[in-house]
Amino acid sequence: MSKKQRIRPEFGERVHLEDYDPGYTGEYESKGDAKDALKHNLERIDVLQEVLYAEHKHALLIVFQAMDAGGKDSTIRHVMEGANPQGVQVASFKVPTQEELDHDFLWRIHKHVPGRGMIGIFNRSHYEDVLVVRVDELVPEDVWQARYEHINAFERLLADSGVTILKFFLHISKDEQKERFQDRLDKPDKHWKFSHGDLAVREKWDAYMAAYEDALTRCHTPWAPWHIVPANKKWYRNLVVSGAIVEALEGLDMRYPAPEPDLDKVVIPD
Q: Which is nearer to ligand AMP, 53 or 194 (CB)?
A: 194
Q: Which is nearer to ligand AMP, 93 or 148 (CB)?
A: 93
Gyration radius of the chain's alpha carbons: 20
DSSP element (H, E) containing 116: none
- Under the criterion CB under 6 A, does residue 129 sit at the interface with ligand AMP? yes
Give the interface segment with ligand AMP, choosing from 29-37, 38-46, 91-99, 209-217 (CB under 6 A): 91-99
Exposure string of 115-141, with b = 16+ CB inside 10 Å and e = fewer, is: eebbbbbbbbbbbbbbbbbbbeeebee
Q: Which is nearer to ligand AMP, 129 or 155 (CB)?
A: 129
Q: Which is nearer to ligand AMP, 128 or 155 (CB)?
A: 128
Using the rule CB under 6 A, which residue among 11, 32, 36, 94 binds ligand AMP?
A: 94
**Which of ligand AMP, Mg ion, none has residue 96 at its interface (CB below 5 to 8 Å by kind)?**
ligand AMP
- Under the criterion CB under 6 A, does residue 95 sit at the interface with ligand AMP? yes
- Under the criterion CB under 6 A, does residue 207 sit at the interface with ligand AMP? no
- Under the criterion CB under 6 A, does residue 128 sit at the interface with ligand AMP? yes
Q: What is the dihedral of CA 177, 183, 185, 191, to 10 degrees?
A: -100
User: What is d(CA 197, CA 46) in angstroms, rounded to the nearest whole number?
Assistant: 37
**Which of ligand AMP, Mg ion, none has residue 133 at its interface (CB below 5 to 8 Å by kind)?**
ligand AMP
User: Which 132-151 positions form the footprint of ligand AMP (CB under 6 A)?
Assistant: 132-133
- Under the criterion CB under 6 A, does residue 90 sit at the interface with ligand AMP? no
DSSP 163: E
User: What separation in angstroms does the CA of 246 have from each of 117, 147, 239?
Assistant: 16, 30, 10
CB 213 within 8 A of CB 17: yes
User: Which 62-91 positions form the footprint of Mg ion (CB under 5 A)?
Assistant: 68
Q: Which is nearer to ligand AMP, 125 or 238 (CB)?
A: 125
Q: Which residues contact 221 (CB under 8 A, 6 or more apart)?
A: 11, 152, 155, 156
CB 241 within 8 A of CB 231: no
User: What is d(CA 106, CA 102) in angstroms, rounded to the nearest whole number?
Assistant: 11
Length of the chain, please? 270
Q: What is the dihedral of CA 167, 172, 174, 177, to 10 degrees?
A: -100
What is the pattern of x (binds ligand AMP, CB under 6 A) and - over residues 41-80?
A: ----------------------------------------
What is the pattern of x (binds Mg ion, CB under 5 A) and - over residues 11-50?
A: ----------------------------------------
For ligand AMP, the binding residues (CB under 6 A) are 93-96, 124, 128-129, 132-133
For Mg ion, the binding residues (CB under 5 A) are 68
